[in-house]
Amino acid sequence: MKFPRLVASTACAVSLAAAAVTAATSPAFASSTSYVALGDSYSSGTGTGSYDLDSGCQRSSKAYAALWASSHSPASFKFVACSGAKTGDVLNNQVSALSSSTTLASITIGGNDAGFSSTMQTCVLGSDQDCLNAVATAESYAKNTLPGKLNNLFSTMRNRAPSARFVVLDYPHLYITNDTFCIGMSHTKHVALNQAADVLDGVIKTAASNAQFTFADVRSQFSGHELCSGDDWLHAVDFTNIGNSYHPTATGHASGYLPVFTSAAGAALTASHAKDS
């Protein structure tokens, strides 16, 4: 399938811009970094369409963590993020990849704990009120239960890798605000889901701050590329492959998550290097 020339040119410009950001925010000593990528499907690469690194966990070479490692050639790279992971799964199956030699680690986590997958299903299939009720339940969990789970996880991560710099990334808004001509779910549902993302991201930001981890917010990077924007970096409901639904595309990782992570990781590694010098 051929893209219109304007779209192709725009895609090229975005790729060049992302490369420029990467080059501008990558310290020369990144090659000595020991990097571990943990987390859920937003880190493993679900939605990129290629699970060439681990099909069971849907780890992809097109995920932001693998893209960063490919362009920076760190001294070591352990990619243990897994689709469907909750905080308990990271504790049981992923934190063992961290060690005293780890100098950089990244993570997205919390969405599965709060039940956002089932919330999305309710919003797709149910009424506006069903969606609002499901969102309220997820937000209540995020506010009241998730903080303790994140604090425990982040503390364990720090204990496993006391010298590491940790970057905690969040989740983007799913829909544009100006959704008048958007086919599918109602405006009410779109607004509720975006607000739920803000609640979840706020909880994650607070937990990261409490742990003295770097918080990297992707929402502004995805602005203008949400669903119904016409230049989506996220999958809408995909009934042929339901797991892709509401996950970043390969472009969402390369042009959305990667620049944000690259900037945050570069700043964190530079600060660490300066402290040790």
Alpha carbon distance 53, 35 (integer Å): 16
Alpha carbon distance 174, 156 (integer Å): 31
Kindly give the interhelix angle for 146-160 and 128-144, rounded to the nearest 10 degrees.
50
Q: Which of 41, 60, 106, 263 is catalytic?
A: 41
Pairing mode of beta strands 214-216, 165-169: parallel
Q: In angstroms, how far is CA 146 from the centroid of its own chain?
A: 17
CA 14 vs CA 21, 73, 123, 149, 165: distances in Å:
10, 23, 32, 37, 28
Alpha carbon distance 22, 134 (integer Å): 39
Is 41 known to be catalytic?
yes
- 179 φψ region: left (φ > 0), alpha (ψ -120 to 50), beta (else): alpha
Nearest alpha carbon to residue 223 among 194, 261, 250, 265: 194
Alpha carbon distance 242, 237 (integer Å): 7
CA angle 101, 104, 107 (to 5 degrees): 125
Is 61 known to be catalytic?
no
Q: Which of 173, 190, 247, 253 is catalytic?
A: 247
DSSP track, 186-210: -HHHHHHHHHHHHHHHHHHHHHHHH
Nearest alpha carbon to residue 80 among 62, 99, 98, 102: 98
Q: Which residues are catalytic?
A: 41, 247
